[in-house]
């Protein structure tokens, strides 16, 4: 996983409707939250990213208004979203 010491570039893509899905998992809420936020590299497809360089890692800043972004192999960063809660 990549450290989150730097901020990513921000892009304005306009208003996009939120994606709302639910999935049942055999894990506690705490474990599921950890996997989603700290271990996103383990389940996120590396082919799904913004930018020209291959995806190196996904970073989720675990705080309200934190950034969700991808860091590419060339060390460029592209912000994907914002943590709302």
Confidence of residue 79 (pLDDT cuts 50, 70, 90): very high
Q: Which residues pair with 25 in a beta bridge?
A: none
pLDDT of residue 41: 82
Q: How far apart (Å, rounded) are the C-alpha atoms in residues 10 and 54?
A: 19
So what's the pLDDT on residue 42? 86
Residue 75 DSSP SS3: coil
58 pLDDT higher than 70: yes
* Domain ranges within the chain, ordered by starting residue: 46-85
Q: How far apart are CA 45 and CA 22, in angstroms?
A: 19
Q: What is the pLDDT of residues 1-57, one digit of tens each?
A: 566 555 555 656 677 788 888 888 899 999 988 888 888 888 899 898 888 899 999
CA 45 distance to own-chain centroid: 11
Mean per-residue pLDDT over the chain, rounded: 85
């Amino acid at each position: 996983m990549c450290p989150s010491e730097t901020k990513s570039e921000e892009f304005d893509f306009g208003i996009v409707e939120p994606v709302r899905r639910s999935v049942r998992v055999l894990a506690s809420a705490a474990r599921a939250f950890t996997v989603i936020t700290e271990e996103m590299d383990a389940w996120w497809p590396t082919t799904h990213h913004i930018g020209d360089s291959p995806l190196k890692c996904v970073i989720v800043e675990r705080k309200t208004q934190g950034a969700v972004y991808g860091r590419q192999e060339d060390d460029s960063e592209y912000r994907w979203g914002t943590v709302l809660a």
